[in-house]
Amino acid sequence: MLILTTKRILVIDDAEDIREVAQVSLEVVGGWEVLTACSGREGVAKAVAEQPDAILLDVMMPDQDGPTTFLQLQANNATQHIPVILLTAKALAGDRRMFADLGVVRVIAKPFEPMFLAAQVAEALGWEQE
């Protein structure tokens, strides 16, 4: 018997409106379960506790930015296997190269198109969309 499990995505962004739009988009269009965190620290703690299938991570956040959060996720045995996609308004070619060198799966520019976010995430991760 084939059991289908719903993918779980953690969205880490300090902007409440971005978290809400991403959550609705990924749940409604992607059919996935979405967890949210409003800071890098909260995001790392949730990633450890919840073990999501992927993480969407904002680059520019107060206190702890996205690259710092990503490095913490990579340094932790419990979270280093979770693929990370960066969300950023700062999507210059040099920045994209730097992020790729860090090991992020993809960079998605903000503002993103809500109707296409799930498709972008699925394509970046090699997931079949339902």
Domain borders along the chain are 8-123
- Give pLDDT tens digits for 113-124: 999 999 999 999
Q: What is the pLDDT of residues 57-104, one digit of tens each?
A: 999 999 999 999 999 999 999 999 999 999 988 767 777 778 878 889
CA distances from 31 to 5, 7, 27, 34, 50 (A): 11, 8, 5, 9, 18
Q: Above 90 in pLDDT, residue 12?
A: yes
pTM value > 0.85 = yes
> Residue 55's beta-bridge partner residues?
10, 84
CA distance 58 to 113: 16
The answer to whether domain 8-123 has CATH 3.40.1190.20 is no
> Across the chain, how many H-helices and E-strands are there?
5, 5
